[in-house]
Amino acid sequence: MENIVLDKFKAGQPCMGTFSHLLSAASLRVLGQTGLDYVILDLEHSPIGAEHVTELIPAARQAGLCPLVRVNGMDRGQFLKMLDAGAAGLIVPLVETVEQVQTLVSYAKFAPLGGRGYCPTVDAGWGFGPEYANGMAGYMNTANERTLLIPQCETAGCLEHIEEIVAINGVDGIFIGPFDLSIALGIPGQFDHPDHIAAVERVRKACEAAGKLCIMFCGDADAAAGYFRQGFPNVTVGIDVLTLLSGMKQTVETAKRGL
Ligand code: 3PY
Ligand code: MG
């Protein structure tokens, strides 16, 4: 189970990805040429649906991008579908409590860690992939180790309990959603506000102390460079649709200087 997000984290190497909203295998092939490590197929905030993800995951892999999926809720059925389709990890928005995260572990991880339901699927060659070298139990262990469960920290509840949440066995890391987190803090969009800076650093440190991955989201390259400097091992920068928009907008504005 290839997972460069996990491998780079374990090797202490920085890792970078972006969100995809474009619902397009062609755009994933383009992103594969940019040096990004992974793409997050976003079921929460884009027209991408579960039925599209089954086609977009192999397209991402072919493009050399590790496919993570942001699910759009805490629904067991959707968790299984995304993992069975070969998602390298699930990012889960709007979690609030320790109990919720324990339930997420029960959906996303096989026994003895959790209670993920089993079926031979494309994620390991329908039972014929190398993950089955040591039988079904071997596959289940491999899937538990190499398929990431990453709750988002973007609510007051999650922030309050972040040290406990990140320490849960079966949680592989935390993804910080700065937009919703800033809303939860009562300072929407004020990423330079001391309360936001303190919250983000608290999550980063909690992850570091637990030996877990911490992914920071931001909108542009300068912010991404800043978060790498701050010590984040992994940064998700931008959304493909916005990168297309800003790139072409800048091109049009520059070209118009000749008119
Ligand atoms: C947020 O900033 O709230 C996110 O969820 C990032 O997509
Ligand atoms: Mg959010």
Give the domains, in start order, of the chain with CATH numbers. Answer: 4-258 (3.20.20.60)
Q: Give pLDDT, residue 180.
A: 98
Q: Is 196 a catalytic residue?
A: no
Q: What is the largest CA-CA distance in the chain?
A: 68
CA dist 147 to 96, 153, 171, 180, 238, Å? Answer: 22, 19, 10, 25, 23
Task: State residue 120's pLDDT score.
Answer: 95
- Contact status, residue 157 vs residue 97, Cβ threshold 8 Å: yes
Atom of ligand 1 nearest to the CA of 217: 6
Identify whether the C-beta of residue 69 lies closer than 8 Å to the C-beta of residue 36: no
Instruction: Return the pLDDT at 149.
Output: 98
Q: Cα(174)–Cα(212) distance, rounded to whole angstroms? A: 8
Q: Which parts of the chain have pLDDT scores under 70?
A: none
From the list 111, 145, 142, the residue with the least C-alpha distance to 124 is 142
pLDDT given at position 150:
98
Q: What is the pLDDT of residue 188?
A: 98
Report the pLDDT value the prediction gives residue 165, as an integer from 0 to 100.
98
pLDDT at 225: 98
Length of the chain: 259
pLDDT score for 132: 96
Which member of 45, 52, 193, 196 is catalytic? Answer: 45
Ligand 1, from 44, 200, 217, 241: best to mutate by most atoms within 8 Å of Cβ? 217
